[in-house]
Amino acid sequence: MTLPEPHQATDFLRGLAPELKPLEVTGPCHADQHGKRRAALAARIAQQGGGLVILSSGEEIVRNRDTTFPFRGDSDFLYMTGFPEPDAWWLMQVSPDGKTKNVIACRPRDIEREIWDGIRIGPEQAAERFGMDCAIEISELDRTVIALAANLPAIYAHLANHHDSDQKLRQWLHALRAQARAGVNAPDRIIDFGQSIARQRLVKDSSEISTMRQAANFSAAGHIRAMRFTRPGHREYEIEAELLHAFRSAGSQSVAYGSIVAAGPHSCILHHRAGVRAIRDEELVLVDAGCELDGYASDITRTFPANGKFTAHQRAAYDVVLAAQEAATKATQVGESFTAPHTAAVRVLTQGLLDLGLIPKQSLEGAVDSGAYKRFYMHRTGHWLGLDVHDVGDYNTRLTPGMVLTIEPGLYIRPAEDIDPGFWNTGIRIEDDALVTSGEAELLTRGVPVAADAIEALMRKPD
């Protein structure tokens, strides 16, 4: 990594200016949808008397010293604008009659910084490219917010997400109240509109589904690569490297979350990060990983034998988890509650634990009601999926076409005196991304095998 010279050659920089073209920066991925999303939000705000929406993309975060993490914008900001840069703000003035004015505030063009950090879009291009009424430099943000919020009844913003944003809200309100003697009325309400946007994001439109389908295919290819690569003696981080290679080679921009690669006893740790431990013969390997494409997450978990062949105990437990996933998938139907898949999975897992002798003999209903299964299954069967891997949305809701959720039952059997040693260190999770449709749920991630026989066959194939 290079460091800038203390004095840049100004003439040299000016000579490069024509080569720095904001139009070469990737445009919004769902450009035809952002305006519709803003209009839907504006209609709800107009019904409440109007107001000013204020939303930040976020700032770059320092990793250490003068090195930053790769920037990824706030998900609500991306959903409403598609604007990819840090230090940007979206303002939407909504009048009581529903008329709107959309403004993007962003960093100005800076030839010197662009040579080091990349091309900026700049306000000169931002409005047209991102469907805004106007664009301003970030230095004009305070003045613009105060002008747009004057005499409106409310400000709509995220509250308690970031200290700096909360501080700015206080400053803007203070400045507005100071104009009272000049006849300016300050908003008397600050409304956290996070749940309002969450309701919009919960049901995906066709462009979102298309992106998520592609992300699922990229991730499935990564899991296939990892399975084919894995052999006893390989280390967990080597398998992670195969996943990352596949994700980026396919065209994804990032992982959707920190990849979980867990072998042997680590497979019973729900969020184990890939470490240096060498994988041993007859161990299971649990891989929970997915890529992010154009902001949208995929999320797949597969569990497979390091040597390509399940032991009898591993196969018995695996088949129980797979049956639980099948039951949960059948329960993922329009009109059902979000909890219906979990309820279905728990019943199958509990019966399997009874059949395998892992919990004391009793009735199925008694074992479910007492929570006897929780020793081996301690998490929910799924979560919403979208711009965030654990996406926003009300979990006390009925399933509707266009919703996307994960279905991921599991069993985690640790060594214990009352457990058959053949089951020790058996951690199994099977996870797919499910799109709710008017009929059966569509599993977007079945590009990677899930049945035990199919996994063994895949691992026997030459690379």
Quick check: 87 and 107 in contact, CB under 8 A?
Answer: yes
The active-site residue, picked from 113, 162, 248, 379, is 379
**What domains can you pick out in the chain, each with its CATH number?**
10-200 (3.40.350.10), 203-460 (3.90.230.10)
Residue 431 is a catalytic residue: yes
Quick check: 288 and 222 in contact, CB under 8 A?
Answer: no
| Number of helices and strands in the chain (H, E) | 14, 19
Confidence of residue 32 (pLDDT cuts 50, 70, 90): confident
Residue 7 is a catalytic residue: no
- Mean pLDDT of the chain, nearest integer: 94
**Interval 117-136: pLDDT, tens:** 999 999 999 999 999 999 99
**Interval 215-266: pLDDT, tens:** 999 999 999 999 999 999 999 999 999 999 999 999 999 999 999 999 999 9
d(C-alpha 224, C-alpha 242), whole Å: 10
Confidence check: pLDDT of 31 > 90 = no
According to DSSP, residue 218 is labeled H
The active-site residue, picked from 296, 318, 373, 412, is 412
Residue 30 is a catalytic residue: no
The active-site residue, picked from 85, 208, 283, 288, is 288
pLDDT at 165: 87
Quick check: 326 and 434 in contact, CB under 8 A?
Answer: no
**Interval 330-389: pLDDT, tens:** 999 999 999 999 999 999 999 999 999 999 999 999 999 999 999 999 999 999 999 999
Q: Which of 333, 330, 345 is nearest to 430 (CA)?
A: 345
Question: Two tokens at 349?
Answer: 């897992």
The active-site residue, picked from 114, 431, 432, 433, is 431
Confidence check: pLDDT of 312 > 80 = yes
